[in-house]
Structure 1
Amino acid sequence: MIAVTGASGQVGRRVAAGVPEARRLTRKDAEYGDTGRMRQALDGVGTLFLVSARESGDRVAEHRSAVDAAVAAGVQRIVYLSFAGAAPDCTFTFGRDHWHTEQHIRQTGLRWTFLRDNLYQEMLPMLAGPDGVIRGPAADGRLAAVAYDDIAASAVAALTQDGHDGRTYELTGPEALTMHEVAARLGLTYVPETVEEAYASRAHYGAPAFEVAGWVSSYEAIAAGELATVSDDVRHLTGRDPKPLSPR
């Protein structure tokens, strides 16, 4: 039995469609932080596709709770949707959450596969304001954004095929683009900001500090070259080339 978390989300629902017999789990079934309910939801499951929880101040604790529930339920393998360049000191603050989650999964002794995806192509148009301008401190750095469909197809392969235990895959699109190039392809405009300007321009949202830091540091990670790697792992897993960023 394969269980797919986040089954109502953009990636999870695509993965569930590719594994029709999978048990589909949403937040209505069990919150990650509710170890007891999560354990019940995973009863009888052999492989778990774990989509990361939405960003929060205690997301690592929520992930650990879900992983511990999987262990208690007798799950044998976790395929975890992580993030490109996950490391304890990576520039993108949310990427650090993924690294800590990966370490916790490793320590369980379960079989594992990590799918580290780049930024989502479909999310890029949403970075623009009402004026059609994307603003951020990405400088001239590049990113190899990847499509939802390619992430999901890679996950289905990792879940249903042999030979992926103990492997970490970098899921990217076929090209690394600057934010100027991204914006031009989407019919938008990119205006570089300094880090200070980026924090100031986002202050009016009134979002928690951790969330604003995640927004700004995603651009900083692009500037630092941490999202520029183009990988052939999507092709390796799915047998087809990943989709390029399409004009709107």
Structure 2
Amino acid sequence: MADLTTAVTGATGRLGGRIARRLADHGIPQRLAVRTPARAPELPGAVAVACSYDRPDQVREALAGVETVLMVSGSETPDRVDQHRTFIDAAAAAGVRRLVYISFAEASPTATFTLARDHAATEEHLHASGLTPIVLRDNFYLDFLPELVEADGVIRGPAGEGRVAAVAQDDIADAAAAVLADPAPHDGRTYRLTGREALTLAEAAEKIGRRQGRTVRFEDQSLDDAYRSRAGQAPDWQLDAWVSTYTAIAAGELATVTDDIPTLTGHPALTLDDVLRST
């Protein structure tokens, strides 16, 4: 296998793909450890290898000789934490020295957003693994906010007047690429990646509507109405995740704005208006 000391997971996805392309643009050779190598982007200096988080044999082979691996969190499933633990253990067994983990803002066992608890459990396992951790805790994606708008032009959820310091995927990719290009100074650090501003969903709706040339508004829901309107659309654990997206905002857990994006990238964080202009 090629002597590549940096590996990137998730390169077939939107965030991992962005990061891999930036590393290629910087001339950094990399191993793309993905579930389906045929779907990996073709990039100069990159070699795609099969690597499923729940296959420790694949992980060990894919990461043999790798010094630093970027771990993009796995797909949202009930056993995601188990898959993460399997991957981390196999990475350590393969001789990986350092693992950069894409986590979530305010990851905690008691976080309102249920999937943030998965990230907290993963971080805990990473810190106990013997690997050198670097943790990038992302807020919700700015790119995701327009997807909250339903067909009738309404964002519905129990978010109240809470604010969210959502961050652009391009900014996360820039930050991750900067860390991977020279990781040693970041060893053991945890960064909180946010946008430049913290918006209410009513403010986000107004900006989205202005860009789309139509009326978009936010409708605050009660908790009961939030579950009732989504009933039957997904398993209970996923409904909890959907609804807690909004209740975490209402609780103020995602409102803090940091300067970690400009610190890592050298440029200001993007705003929602910036992201909307680019789509």
TM-score range, shorter chain: over 0.9
Q: Structure 1 stretch 122-131 or stretch 135-144: which is displaced more?
A: 122-131
Distance in 2 between residues matched to 1:27 and 1:215, nearest whole Å: 26
* Selected match of 1:78 from 68, 86, 99: 99
Residue 82 of structure 2 aligns with which residue? 61
How many angstroms does 1:155 deviate by? 0.4
Partner of 1:213: 240
Q: Provide, for residues 185-241 of structure 1, a one-character-per-residue CA deviation record: whole Å limited to 9, x for no partner.
A: 000211000111111111141x11111100100100000000000000001101110
Query: Aligned letter for 2:152?
Result: D
What per-residue deviation string (whole Å, max 9, x for no partner) do you get for residues 155-204 of structure 1?
01111223101111000000000000011100021100011111111114
C-alpha distance in structure 2 between counterparts of 1:117 and 1:134, whole Å: 22
Cα displacement (A) at 1:10: 1.0
- How far did 1:112 drift? 0.9
Partner letter of residue 91 of structure 2? A
The question of 1:153 aligning with 2:174 is answered yes
Unaligned stretches of 5+ in structure 1? none
Give SS of 2:99's match. Answer: strand
Alignment of 1:1-248 (within 5 A): 1-20=5-24, 21-28=29-36, 29-161=50-182, 162-187=184-209, 188-205=216-233, 207-246=234-273, 247=276
Aligned CA RMSD, in angstroms, stands at: 0.9
CA contact (8 A) 2:92 2:130 kept: no
Aligned residues: 247
> Helix, strand or coil for the counterpart of 2:125?
helix
- For 2:148 and 2:232, the matched residues in 1 are separated by 16
TM-score (norm 1): 0.97
Gaps of 5+ in 2: 37-49, 210-215
1:185 aligned counterpart, secondary structure:
helix
State the shift of 1:110 in Å. Answer: 1.2
Distance 2:35 2:178 in 1: 24
Identity of aligned residues (%): 51
Query: Equivalent residue of 2:185, what SS?
Result: coil
1:217 is paired with a residue of what secondary structure?
Answer: helix
The alpha carbon displacement at 1:35 in A equals 1.1
Runs of 4+ more than 2 Å apart: none
Q: Deviations over 1:60-100 (max 9, x none)?
A: 00100110110111000000000000001010000000000
Amino acid corresponding to residue 69 of structure 1 in structure 2: A
Higher relative contact order (CA 8 A, sep 6+): 1
SS at the partner of 1:182?
Answer: helix
Give SS of 2:272's match.
Answer: coil
- Report which of the two structures shows the higher radius of gyration computed on alpha carbons: 2
Residue in structure 1 matched with residue 213 of structure 2 by the alignment: none
1:103-159 Cα distance to aligned partner (Å, 9 max, x none): 100001211110000001111111111111110000000001100110001001111
CA contact (8 A) 2:137 2:191 kept: yes
TM-score (norm 2): 0.87
